[in-house]
Amino acid sequence: MDIRKFLTIWFLNYCYKCYKMLFPLKLLSCYISGKLTMLAKLMKSVYQKTLNVPVKCEGVGLHSGKLVEMHIKPAGPNTGIFFRRLDIPDNPIINASYDCVVDTKYGTTLANADGTHVQTVEHLMAAFMGTEIDNAEVILSSCEVPVMDGSSKSFVEMINSVGKKEQIARKKSIKVLRDICVSFEDKNISISPSDTFSINYHINFSDPLIGEQTYEVVFFNGAFKEQICSARTFGFLNEVKALQKSGFALGGSLENAIVLDNGKVLNPGGLRYKNEFVRHKILDCCGDMYLAGKNLIGSIEANCAGHELNNILLRRLLGDKKNYDIVETVGQVGTLEEVKTRERVDVEKIAIA
């Protein structure tokens, strides 16, 4: 055998051994990069959203009893949610912010520095949270958001009917870093660090139809729309006269609230859920918490809390920067199965083309 033939055989043999040695490593790296690619397809940065086009509705204010026309218009990135009063000269703006809350009796009222106010914002704010709207201008012809059917359903349907558009700014969330607890007499509410936003709510009413109810929602994959958005506000017949005498519930009716009379529902259609009451308390809590200006990432436990404790909790949480971190919102674009199905459909489309 001449030296050239010998060297060629030796070199080929050497290459084969190297290939055999590196093959498992290559397999491993393919596996890891495949997993990472799949993970990247599952999770992605989320951008802020606003409505595609303006929408409008008309209704009555639950407490003021006044007819009101409301327009919701798209707004620029990082502007947040803000209200504008069309019935007041110069059309003043009121920011939808926890530090603009001036009253929490039977609803959440916001006011600007001049004292111009907007009443009962919580059901609309909950709809914005549930539909992931970050920026919007809400124009009102009166002092109160219309109550519609007493839930967030109409607002969610209005927003979904025109759709949303992504904006250039990235969405940010408030990640809770420390436990915060607020209590007053037998009522309390707390928020703790978590990887998701969830609310666990407990109520206890003397009316036998309500009694004790507990419900927990992890706000993920449309949970707000499916479990919370249709739950209506409620009141008791024996309190209506006193409330109206003090200027509340002037627009209240069986069309926009569940009315209870000693264990009986007076609304002809009955309840939408057996535990509609606790679900509505969660809806109110969502709306109040969205006044933080961003989504919260934390776990809320509430026991007979209400608008006042909700607002105190936010003020405590956001009053000390050590309590939270502002993080870029990362969203899951689907389950592993959904991503795989989407890829299969794409491959089929290419094959057909």
Is 124 or 159 the residue whose CB approaches Zn ion more closely?
124
Q: At residue 327, what is the residue type?
A: V
Is 124 or 296 the residue whose CB approaches Zn ion more closely?
124
Q: 117, 123, 280, 307: which one is catalytic?
A: 307
Short-list 321, 305, 310, 47, CA closest to 176: 321
Instruction: Characterize 188-212 residue by residue with b for buried, 16 or more Cβ atoms within 10 angstroms of its Cβ, and e for exposed.
Output: bbbbeeeeebbbbbbbebeeebbee
Q: At residue 192, what is the residue type?
A: S
In angstroms, give the least distance from the CB of 111 to Zn ion.
19
Locate 339 and state its tokens: 């991503």
Q: Count residues near Zn ion (CB under 5 A).
A: 2
Question: CA 192, 108, 306: angle at the middle one, nearest 5?
Answer: 45
Is 227 or 233 the residue whose CB approaches Zn ion more closely?
233
Binding mask 205-234 for Zn ion (x = CB under 5 A): ----------------------------x-
307 is catalytic: yes
Is residue 267 exposed (0-12), middle (13-18) or buried (19+ Cβ within 10 Å)?
middle
| Cα separation, 341 vs 108, whole angstroms | 44
Residues in 103-142 at the binding interface with Zn ion, rule: CB under 5 A: none
In angstroms, give the least distance from the CB of 152 to Zn ion.
9
Short-list 131, 130, 127, CA closest to 150: 127
Across the strands, what pairs with 95?
82
In angstroms, give the least distance from the CB of 201 to Zn ion.
13
Is 68 or 75 the residue whose CB approaches Zn ion more closely?
68
Is 144 or 284 the residue whose CB approaches Zn ion more closely?
284
Is 134 or 284 the residue whose CB approaches Zn ion more closely?
284
Q: What is the DSSP string of 209-228?
A: TTSEEEEEEE--TTHIIIII
In angstroms, give the least distance from the CB of 311 to Zn ion.
14
Contact with Zn ion (CB under 5 A): which of 137, 276, 284, 288? Answer: 284
Q: Could you tell me the CA-to-CA distances from 104 to 2, 68, 91, 110, 138 in Å, in that order?
A: 98, 21, 24, 9, 20
| Cα separation, 282 vs 224, whole angstroms | 10
| 224 phi and psi angles, rounded to 5 deg | -60, -50
| Cα separation, 170 vs 48, whole angstroms | 6
In angstroms, give the least distance from the CB of 241 to Zn ion.
21
In angstroms, give the least distance from the CB of 101 to Zn ion.
15
In angstroms, give the least distance from the CB of 212 to Zn ion.
19
Instruction: Characterize 161-180 residue by residue with b for buried, 16 or more Cβ atoms within 10 angstroms of its Cβ, and e for exposed.
Output: eeebeebeeebbbbbbbeeb
| Cα separation, 67 vs 59, whole angstroms | 6
Stretch in the footprint of Zn ion (CB under 5 A) among 110-118, 161-169, 276-284, 341-349: 276-284
Question: Is 308 among the residues that bind Zn ion (CB under 5 A)?
Answer: no
Is 75 or 121 the residue whose CB approaches Zn ion more closely?
121
Question: What is the binding site for Zn ion (CB under 5 A)?
Answer: 233, 284
Active site residues: 307
